[in-house]
Chain A
Amino acid sequence: MGEILALEFMRQALVAALFAGVAAPLVGVFLVQRRMSLIGDGMGHVALAGVAVGILTGQQPVLTALAAAVFAGVAIELIRASGRTSGDIALAIMFYGGIALGVVLIARSSAGTPANLTAYLFGAILTTSSGDIAVLAVLAAVVLVVTLMLRQRFFAVANDEEYARAAGMPVLGYNLLLAVLTAVTIVVSMRAVGLLLISALMIIPNATAQLLARSFRSSLWWAVGIGVASSVGGVLLSYEVETPSGGTIVLVAIAAFLAVSAAAMVRDRLRRAVHARAETHDHEHGPDCGHEAVAHEDHVDYLHDGHLHAAHEGHYDEHGGHAEPDAAAGAEAR
């Protein structure tokens, strides 16, 4: 570890990975909520055209990529808001046009070698310069601060757009802002993860977090934790085994997802084993039902004719006596 940290490019790569690991899942959760998981992928395609323009004109590719990704994000939202059926086709043309233009322009530029293109598409730890780090730090800070401040509002708009509109929230404004934040995140993650794999870091940690958390708030923190662990762990691993960082990061994230899925499956099996349904009755237990409420671990049971009934999804579970070992439910509550 000390040996790795002694290398300047590794320090920079790890910092870049940290930024990506924080920003990507934070923005990604709202994309998952809006069922737009693949939109980040399309914006990454368009960002490649921005990178190419930067290389050709001698600008910092980070800034030109940002401009292209922001353009794509805003266009996506406006096309979606217009509600046209041809919108889907328009998005496809924009995404593939972006990546095709990027490939052609990079091949034409003198600095462009196949290795260079691969680094942008799939991430490479060697490409992060100290100039980049400053820009990335500012961009990551913007994503972090704005997303955390507007977290509840983004949640409201993504959760129920109809209600948000009726409550007078500027729905299109929030959606456009989220698109811009997504674009910024793509540029922040570009060096470590690569433009073709960025979407994975936005979505997969959130998929894993959904298996672990029981509320939106906790799923957000789980996703950021898993994102950072995957991106930093992936960069370290890619140094050890000499692989492209982006692919390594994404594989680490997927491994975490599979491990958690397997554990969740075992947990559900165990829980089903101790799960006994109560008889159905046509009233609902609640503060006013007249049955005595008894605190039981993380929930409330109702004493119904000598049985303890606990609400579970649409029905009631028989929780019998208090002494019943409820190991699975206890483990899940952690």
Chain B
Amino acid sequence: MRVSSDPPPLIELRSASFGYGERRVVSDVDLTVERGEVLALLGPNGCGKSTLVRGVLGLVEQQGGEVRLFGVPRERFRDYTRVGYVPQHHSLSASVRATITEVVEVGRLPHRPWWKPQSRLDRDVVREAIAAVGLADRAHEEVARLSGGQQRRVLIARALAGRPDVLVMDEPTAGVDTASSEALAQVLERLAAEGTSMVVVTHELEALRDVVSRVVCMESGRVDFDGTTAQYAAHQAAHDHGSSHHHDPTYDAPPEPVIGAPLDRTHTGGSGG
């Protein structure tokens, strides 16, 4: 829709750092996400991948560097509807009843002032978004009664209802059963085919292998691989005959107990002798 000779990248980080108070979780990251890319952000638990996207969204304190969204510095960015955030599903409150439609309708709220009631367009977009994730037949069912994978799709529909330029997803496939995970991958494939740009935080590439066009790996708060899916496969193969490397897509290596290790060794040594 926007007329521009050379549109700025969707997301642009220049030696960006994020963290909580004294604790710096992500440091010195350079990353550019272009229109039409489907980027998988990989890495073991605790490597900072969630913190990175939450920092880009302004949910975690930025502690240095530069963050631009659609060419606008993060502090001045107000076009929130252009970014569709799909948080991990445990952020949904389940203490009162809510239907799929009611949750997805939330995605339209940033598009209108507080005093304006829902328009026909809002209703249509909500219905389309629910259909896009394959839940049209269950639109008036309770969210709490759905399976984990279906709940993720509700959150994707909510983000889609905002008609964003880029979807940012935090672990959409974690803890999802096979049937649901396949349905989820199909939804993402369809969105990718329609040209939707996505940033997907995940620790398992397998389920999304056909959707992803670029892989970025993080380790201890820094980016240590950035390339196409093919380059990633080659990179992994090169590492496979070395030590067990964290890039293994199916196995999540536990973080190395850097401080604990020598002590543990002393302990096991003591008990053994």
Contact = CB atoms under 8 A, between A and B. Distances in A.
14 contacts: A32-B96, A159-B92, A165-B59, A167-B106, A168-B80, A168-B81, A215-B97, A215-B142, A282-B178, A284-B150, A285-B137, A286-B134, A287-B137, A313-B145
Interface majority SS on A: helix, strand, loop or mixed? mixed
Interface in B235-273: none
A214 B87 contact: no
Given A216-B97, A282-B182, 6 more contacts: A156-B109, A160-B87, A165-B58, A167-B80, A169-B109, A311-B141
Interface string B128-158: 0001001111101110011100100001001
Contact of A284 (B109, B162, B180): B180
A84 interface: no
B230 interface: no
Interface string B86-120: 01000111011111001101110110001100100
A311 B138 contact: yes
B114 A150 contact: yes
A166 B140 contact: no
Contact of B87 (A29, A35, A166, A215): A166
Contacts of B180: 284
Given A162-B87, A286-B183, A314 B146 contact: yes
Interface residues on B, range: 35 or more
A155 B134 CA distance: 24
Nearest to A164: B106
Given A163-B87, A287-B131, A300-B137, A149 B96 contact: no
Given A163-B85, A284-B183, A214 B134 contact: no
B81 A216 contact: no
Nearest to B116: A149
Contacts of A216: 96-99, 102
Q: Top 9 nearest A-B pairs by Cβ distance?
A: A168-B80, A166-B85, A314-B147, A156-B106, A162-B91, A286-B134, A166-B57, A215-B99, A216-B98
